[in-house]
Amino acid sequence: MDLNTIKTKLSFLKGYLSQSNYLNFILLILAVLSCFLILFFNTFFVTQEVVYVDNVKLFDGFNMTKEMKQIGEKDFNKKRKVLDSLYFLIQSPTIQKNHKEQLLKTFIPLKEEFENFNQSFGQTESAKIWKRIDSYIKEYSKEKGYKMVLGSFNGDRTVLYSDESINITPELITYINKRYEGKK
């Protein structure tokens, strides 16, 4: 339908309607069209600009976290076995005093090293993991058009309320794992 056809049909209606009724009719049509356009654009073109993520689930669901945990547990168990063996020898009633002293000199620094490993491994690896997650979140947010991604911790009250419809945790876990594995 071209513009002249529409004008002809509207001028035909104008003959049947009084001037004020004609204007009301045109305004009604414009209002209905406006409502339709608003609904259409809101449904198909408006994205949520603020979303949230459950940080604990995101961190635990990330494959790099799982890999680092396995590596840490292997190192932890290996060091613990050495310490347990030394401790067992030191506690043996048949061991000579001078040999026991030598074992203690070996045991004490190894125990301190083990405790330091225990404390620092989790912190340093967590920092590396979060650095990687943060870079992936930035990419994902730009792709999805998010202006803000809030983090929510289990039990932490930083986000007082959030509707589940803006929770992107599962999608983000899938995305960061694909990125980590080199898939996009």
Q: State the average pLDDT over residues 157-172.
A: 77
Question: What is the Cα–Cα distance from 166 to 51, expressed in whole angstroms?
Answer: 5
Question: What pLDDT does residue 102 have?
Answer: 92
| Residue 83: band (very low, low, confident or very high) from pLDDT cuts 50, 70, 90 | very high
- Count the neighbouring beta carbons within 10 Å of the beta carbon of residue 140: 19
Question: Is the pLDDT at 171 greater than 80, yes or no?
Answer: yes
| % pLDDT > 90, the chain | 36
Asked if pLDDT for residue 119 goes beyond 70, the answer is yes
pLDDT (tens digit, 9 = 90+) per residue, 2-38? Answer: 667 766 665 655 555 555 566 666 666 766 766 566 6
Reported confidence tier of residue 118, pLDDT bands at 50, 70, 90: confident
Nearest 10 degrees: Cα torsion 88, 89, 91, 94: 140
Q: Which long-range contacts (CB under 8 A, 24 or more apart) does 110-115 make?
A: 110/79, 110/82, 110/83, 110/86, 111/83, 113/79, 114/79, 114/80, 114/83
Question: Which distant-in-sequence residues (6+ apart) come within 8 Å of 65 by Cβ?
Answer: 59, 129
For residue 47, give both structure tokens.
């994205």
pLDDT, tens digit (0-9, with 9 covering 90-100), for 59-74: 999 999 999 999 999 9
